[in-house]
Amino acid sequence: MKKWVKMSGSILYAMVFTMMIACIIVVLSSRTTGEDPQIFGYQFKQVLSGSMEPEFSAGSLIVVKHVTSPETLKKGDIITFQTKQDKSFVTHRIVGIKGNGANKAFETKGDNNMYQDGTLVKADQVVAQYKGMNIPYAGKLLSYAGTSAGTALLLIIPGMMLLIYSTIHFVGAAKHRRHSADLPMSEKQA
C-alpha cells in the first residue's frame, strides 16, 4: 500500500510539474513575442465579449487553429477574423457565403447577437477556425498572468510548491533514516 501511495504521489508530482513548466513557457513566450499563446499549431484566444454565448462566454479561453485554405470553410463554422476598421480580432459563426475562389466572402454573426455583422468578411481576413474547445475563466487568468504581478506569481507559486514538496520528502527520508538507525541489527537484516 505504501509503495502504491509513493508511486502515485510521484506520478502526480511529475504531471503537475510538467503542466506548470508548460504553462510558464506558454505565458512567457507569448509575453515576449506579444502574440497569443500557441502549442502544436493551436492558438489560445481570449474571449472579450458575450457575443458567442452560450457557445463560449466572456473571459473564456478558446482553442483555434490557423486557416490555410479559407475555401474549405462552410456555413456553421466558427472563425476568427481580423476587422478592416480597427484591426481587432473577432470570433463569430459563418451564417452565409457569397462568391467563390478569390472573391469568397463570409456573412458572420455572433450567436448571442440579434443581427448579422455589418460587413462581409473576405477570405484573406480569416485568421483561424474554432476547434470546439474552450476553458471557462482561463482567459481572465491569462490576462492576469500577462501583468507583472501575474508573471511573478506564476513563477513564485510553482517555486513554493516545489520547495514544499522537497521539504516533505526530505523530512520523510530523514525520519526513515532515523527509524532505521534505531532498529536493532537483527531487524535491519530481516
Residue 45: what pLDDT?
82
Residue 53 above 90 pLDDT?
Answer: no
Residue 32 above 70 pLDDT?
Answer: no
Give every CB contact of residue 124 below 8 A, 6+ residues apart in sequence.
Answer: 70
Average pLDDT, integer, range 118-124 = 88
Average pLDDT, integer, range 53-73 = 85
80 within 8 A of 131, measured Cβ to Cβ: no
Residue 118: what pLDDT?
86
Residue 31: what pLDDT?
63
Question: 102 or 131: which carries more pLDDT confidence?
Answer: 131
Rounded CA-CA distance 104/124 in Å is 9
148 is catalytic: no
Average pLDDT, integer, range 42-52 = 83
Rounded CA-CA distance 158/155 in Å is 6
- In this predicted model, what pLDDT tens digit does every residue of 82-115 receive, in sequence order? 888 888 888 899 999 898 877 888 999 988 889 9
pTM, 2 dp: 0.63
Residue with C-alpha cell 462581409? Answer: 120
44 within 8 A of 62, measured Cβ to Cβ: yes
- Which residue among 49, 69, 166, 186 is the active-site one? 49
Residue 180: band (very low, low, confident or very high) from pLDDT cuts 50, 70, 90? low
Is the peptide bond prior to 158 cis by the omega test (within 30 degrees of 0)? no
